[in-house]
Amino acid sequence: MLSFILKRVGLAIPTFIGITLLTFAFIHLIPGDPVMIMAGERGLSPERHAAMMAQLGLDQPLWTQYGHYIWNVLHGDLGTSLTTREPIWSEFVPRFQATLELSIVAMAIALAIGIPVGVLAAVKRGSLFDHAAITAALTGYSMPVFWWGLMLIMLVSVQLDLMPVSGRVSAAVFLDPDNPLTGFMLIDTLLFGEEGNFLDALHHIMLPAFVLGTIPLAVIVRMTRSSMLEVLNEDYIRTARAKGLSRLRVVVVHALRNALLPVLTVIGLQVGVLMVGAILTETIFSWPGVGRWLIYGLEQRDYPVVQGGVLMVATLIIIVNMCVDILYGLADPRIRHRRGRN
Amino acid sequence: MNTTATTAIPAPPGPFKSFWQDFRRNRGALIGLYYIAAMLLIAVFAGLVAPHDPSMQYRDALLQPPAWLDGGSWRFVLGTDDVGRDILSRLIHGARLSLLVGFLVVSVSLVLGIFFGVVAGYAGGIVDIAIMRLVDIMLALPSLLMALVLVAIFGPSIVNASLALSFVALPHYVRLTRAAVLREMTCDYVIASRVVGAGAWRQMFVNILPNCLAPLIVQASLGFSNAILDMAALGFLGMGAQPPTPEWGTMLANVLQFAQSAWWVVTFPGLAILLAVLAFNLMGDGLRDALDPRLKV
């Protein structure tokens, strides 16, 4: 078991190094002089130019620069934002918390709806419900997330006036920064907020989370359904039925438990989908998360922000994929003991 | 029963006929195919079909609602946008753009992906490891994010965005091709042709590749829908086609201000994207069912 985990971790390291090479190359791939681009239209005096080159280490040989870069990255130093002059890391953390909160709620919605619908569609295969579920799932899977968000804002927020259009909480909500805030609005408002603040935060998160969760929801419905269909044909299901267990028990306890394994992998793979979705969803709903931060960085040509943000997102995905692989190995010994090339 | 049972065994249908029989049975896939065919016709004859010039601004008809609503007229069937351009004509010309982008992205990524995939699978060893490590690295970045970064480097335009989308689609084709090649490498016909002296290039691209095409055709169909969706997302974020290009996603940038007053400006471009993507996904599902021999019998 330990060797399996070590092997998986070992596989992730070259990928991480590759990503650092990629993000390092990013600054050098921008055509022209990065310092001049960062300076913008104002331009720079030659002395200031040289000073900035030295400050950014751009006057040194490439491999020294890369050495410095990776040394800094491993020490949590991702550089400084050009627009705010704040360290990238301290900009990243609160935004990541916002994105994480949104993603968790999105995933919770997707799982809470997706698994029951997928199971029911498989059990009632060929029924009207099954057809409706497949059609809805394929539509959701094909959905342009940004348009979906716009439509829901138009319908739910503007026409029906049921949900707020943007932000994490109403401007009136005040959270005392002296409290040990977690950065997760739902938790903070519950622990330290006034009455009604938690509901306010919940109100704000529901719509963007539903939009962000739409594609994972569609994928989970499709995956759960096909995985259940496969499992329901197995001999042990027939045995369980034959020995007189109730239909519900067979479906939920015997079939679903075995059908969930492929669904688990899919959930892991959705992290990338969530990050892309977050870029679009956060832009529409003005959610102060990593996605909107990256778009802002790209628009403002704040290259250190883009460089650091991309590195963090990629690292997150590598780690999650690694964890899913390891969990998969824990759940299914056949994978753990498989040898050689796939 | 003494009639001699001479029911002749029908000749097995050819590969295309057999495929078509399987494909036709899938109603969703057929709907997708017809929708795509219609879109293709409209795109080719966009200049003839579109009632107006897509960039013509009718200053006397700003934000005019669709024909069936009060204040609408059949002159502008789906209404006009904030500078008085006909939405239907823009959507029709947008179809041309979306299909072109899809075609460009799929062909570039398909050709390069097949090349690297076949080489990785056939050569094995260090070449295989190097290519697959690169693929892993590319897969660690979400595709739209990587496309955004590439566009930021090379400048936002529809050509750069298409190239960026081709690049981010590459790893999927490489993986698929490599897996199919590895499967074929153990077949007798590959070994036999090596024995009679077929060279590496002939083995790779004449003998093995044609037998690996089925999963690639499916992926290409899904690649179309991804390309259309991602191009629209890039356009929406201002990193794809630049205004006033009638690209579906670009049409949706900065329209939130019309949410209350002019829903048609927001609704129709997105619906066009959704239906086009849905059609390609439906067709892709049908192709997979018809082409994947593991699902047959």
pLDDT tens sequence across A279-322: 899 999 989 999 999 998 888 878 888 889 999 999 988 888 88
CB contact under 8 A, B144 and A31: no
Residues 135-174 on A with a CB inside 8 Å of B are: 138-139, 141-148, 150-151, 153-154, 158
For an interface test with A, the pick among B131, B141, B234, B295 (most A C-beta atoms closer than 10 Å) comes out as B141
Mean pLDDT of A182-209: 82
Nearest chain A residue to B276, by CA: A142
Residue A318: list chain B partners with CB under 8 A: 140
Task: Tell me, yes or no, if A187 comes closer than 8 A to chain B by beta carbon.
Answer: no
Residue B181: list chain A partners with CB under 8 A: none
Whole-angstrom distance, CA of residue B283 vs CA of residue B106: 15
Asked whether residue A219 carries a pLDDT value surpassing 80, the answer given is yes
Nearest chain B residue to A155, by CA: B259
Percent of chain B with pLDDT over 70: 94
Residue A71's alpha-carbon distances to A65, A68, A92, in angstroms, are 10, 5, 19
End-to-end, the C-alpha distance of chain A in Å comes to 19
Nearest chain B residue to A278, by CA: B145
Q: Are B37 and B283 in contact (CB under 8 A)?
A: no
Whole-angstrom distance, CA of residue A75 vs CA of residue A88: 13
Asked whether residue B5 carries a pLDDT value surpassing 60, the answer given is no
Identify which of A129-133, A158-162, B69-73 has the greatest average pLDDT. A129-133
Instruction: Write the residue in A138, A301, A313 that is nearest to B281 by C-beta.
Output: A138
Please enumerate in sequence order all residues whose Cβ is within 8 A of that of A148, keeping only pairs 6 or more positions apart, or say none.
A211, A214, B270
Nearest chain B residue to A17, by CA: B137
What's residue B240's pLDDT? 86
Asked whether residue A191 carries a pLDDT value surpassing 60, the answer given is yes
CB contact under 8 A, B252 and A15: no
For an interface test with A, the pick among B35, B91, B144, B145 (most A C-beta atoms closer than 10 Å) comes out as B145
Q: What is the ipTM of this complex?
A: 0.86
Mean of the per-residue pLDDT values of chain A? 84
Letter for the amino acid at A264?
L
CB atoms within 10 A of CB A244: 6
Please enumerate in sequence order all residues whose Cβ is within 8 A of that of A276, keeping only pairs 6 or more positions apart, or say none.
B142, B143, B144, B145
CB contact under 8 A, B153 and A318: no
Bigger pLDDT: A121 vs B60: A121
CB contact under 8 A, B144 and A276: yes
3-state secondary structure of A152: helix
For an interface test with B, the pick among A270, A276, A280 (most B C-beta atoms closer than 10 Å) comes out as A276
Whole-angstrom distance, CA of residue B106 vs CA of residue B133: 23
Mean pLDDT of B142-164: 89
Question: Per the confidence metrics, is the pTM higher than 0.95?
Answer: no
Local confidence band at B7 (pLDDT 50, 70, 90 cut-offs): low
Chain A: closest CA distance from residue B19 (Å): 23
Residue A141's alpha-carbon distances to A105, A138, A212, in angstroms, are 19, 5, 12
Task: Tell me, yes or no, if A18 comes closer than 8 A to chain B by beta carbon.
Answer: yes
Task: Tell me, yes or no, if A15 comes closer than 8 A to chain B by beta carbon.
Answer: yes
Whole-angstrom distance, CA of residue B274 vs CA of residue A142: 6
What angle separates helix B125-139 from helix B87-123, to the nearest 10 degrees? 150
* Chain segment A89-144, per-residue pLDDT in tens: 999 999 999 999 999 999 999 999 999 999 999 999 889 999 999 999 999 999 99
